[in-house]
Structure 1
Amino acid sequence: MVERVTLYRAPTTVADVDAIADWLAARIEAGVEVRDRFLDLYADDELADAFAAARVLSPYERETGNTMLGIVRYEQRALDHPERAGGVIYDGLQVQRSLGERLPADERGLDHLHVPVLDRVLGTWGDHDGRWHKRVNVLGQPALVSVPGLYEAPAKPEQYYKEQQKHAMVAGDSPPREVLESEVEGEFLVEDDPRTTEALKGYVLQAYHYLETGEGFCEESGCRLANPHRQPGVVAAQLQGTAFCPAHAERYRP
């Protein structure tokens, strides 16, 4: 049984982890606390190497890692100045193992869930199609929640990509994000979206639910424990409707 949940802030993002913690605490029996950025609290001399080793090199290659000196130095700068980092996908399971090894020794039990909210893009390898897939969260201990993953992992409406391709054919590059947002109908989240905090609440609860019950994502599309693969589904599950399917509403109604 999970008795404690510790969330870690992501100060370079718009995610309000303290607000997420308050929402979570009203719905579960475990105690909930918030600490500062995980990568500040538990960084050591090998953490930059660990991130370099977890780098995804190609969308279609299972092998990960580039530990050349320049890459390791980049990862160290990304740890020290996270606002300058970006454009890299990391193997979520490798990062999960690396961060788990850095938890305090007396806090590694499954009765104390740790949830670092990260400003890194995480992915998992799909054996079924031979490619990497970006993820919003990686469940387990610790459970990782990726803020940029919220914007990038679930696919946007088809019209978004059509407009992007059309602009690229005419202008030779992708249009500014703001242009696409104004031209595409449909609900989707974008970088620094003011709805980020609200949307992430469900993904943090998924981490607790998995460790507490052993159950994966909910099959009901409108439930906050669902894992939609498209942005309109994320909006429907996390920002609209009744919040939970009947079964999970009974468990998590505040």
Structure 2
Amino acid sequence: MVDRVILYRAPSSVVDVDELATWLERRTDVDVAVRDRFLEVHRSDELPERFAEARVTSPYERATGNTMLGTIRYEERALENPDREGGVLYDGVSVQRTLNSVLPASERELETLHVPIIDRAIGTWGGHDGRWHKRVNVLGQPALVSVPGLYEAPAKPEAYYKEKQRHSLISGDTPPREVLENQVDGEFLIENDPRSTDALAGYVLQAYHFIEEGSGFCEREGCRLFNAHYHEDLIEAQLRRPAFCSEHARLYGTDE
């Protein structure tokens, strides 16, 4: 079904999208192209307001959106200067619909899969527990892959949160994330981690697998297609060998 995959660069991150393209093309034998930032290639005057509407305003409220003038101005600045955005969570499904709407009609069909690598944190609503959950990716057309989500979505080791609580009780505030990451032993990725490109490869493949095979995730821990909810599991799935379970190795190979 998929003849071509188009990856879009995230200019303010350490992720090497060209390397991701080479990896995916070798795994799938489909044509993989790389374009500049999605929001540069596919522009629309409606984007600032649509992003404002997709803002998550409370972790425990399903409704989203803050379309006050100041918020829309912020989104305008973020579109022009992506290195200035951050600290905002967006409804990933809403953002996905927005980006789908600005795709050219000739490229909207599933034969061409668009995969923007984005510098924004995205989430999905959990109907089972009534709160928003950060995600690394949201599958579909286009498939969103969030660089901040790689660091923020999976849960870190329990010691991380205990140290955070301890520091807060002593000092009365939350320590910088970098301090916690240096003080806590454990397997987790940090912002601008040099392993980011390798770790995101599996999430890009999940986007392709979802369209091509009808499913995005594998239930077997350690497979690149596993949907990890903890950093230890993410590292095991994306950075350890073998890369795939036996079933998916038949589709995508065993060598790295």
- CA shift digits 1:205-233 (9 cap, x unpaired): 00000000101310011000001101111
Paired with 1:99 and 1:76, the residues of 2 have a C-alpha distance of 16
Paired with 1:73 and 1:140, the residues of 2 have a C-alpha distance of 29
- 1:252 aligns to 2:252 (yes or no): yes
Secondary structure in 2 matching 1:98? helix
How many pairs does the alignment contain?
Answer: 254
Determine the structure 2 residue equivalent to 1:135: 135
Shift of 1:175: 2.0
Paired with 2:135 and 2:197, the residues of 1 have a C-alpha distance of 17
- 1:37 aligns to 2:37 (yes or no): yes
Paired with 1:178 and 1:211, the residues of 2 have a C-alpha distance of 37
- CA shift digits 1:163-203 (9 cap, x unpaired): 01101111112223332222212100111111100000000
Shift of 1:35: 0.2
> TM-score, normalising length from structure 1?
0.98
Determine the structure 1 residue equivalent to 2:238: 238
Secondary structure in 1 matching 2:43? coil
The answer to whether the 8 Å contact 1:3/1:29 transfers is: no
Determine the structure 1 residue equivalent to 2:193: 193
Paired with 1:132 and 1:41, the residues of 2 have a C-alpha distance of 29
Secondary structure in 2 matching 1:5? strand
Determine the structure 2 residue equivalent to 1:8: 8
Map 1:76-91 to 2 at 5 A.
Answer: 76-91=76-91
Off by >3 Å, runs of 4+ in structure 1 = none
- CA shift digits 1:113-132 (9 cap, x unpaired): 00000000000001101000
- CA shift digits 1:132-191 (9 cap, x unpaired): 000000000100000000000000000000001101111112223332222212100111
- CA shift digits 1:21-77 (9 cap, x unpaired): 000000102110000000111121110001000000100000011111111000000
Secondary structure in 2 matching 1:221? coil
Map 1:49-88 to 2 at 5 A.
Answer: 49-88=49-88
The answer to whether the 8 Å contact 2:96/2:142 transfers is: yes
> TM-score, normalising length from structure 2?
0.98
The answer to whether the 8 Å contact 1:14/1:196 transfers is: yes
Paired with 1:171 and 1:243, the residues of 2 have a C-alpha distance of 43
Shift of 1:104: 1.2
Task: List runs of 5+ in structure 2 lacking aligned partners.
Answer: none
Paired with 1:113 and 1:163, the residues of 2 have a C-alpha distance of 42
- 1:159 aligns to 2:166 (yes or no): no
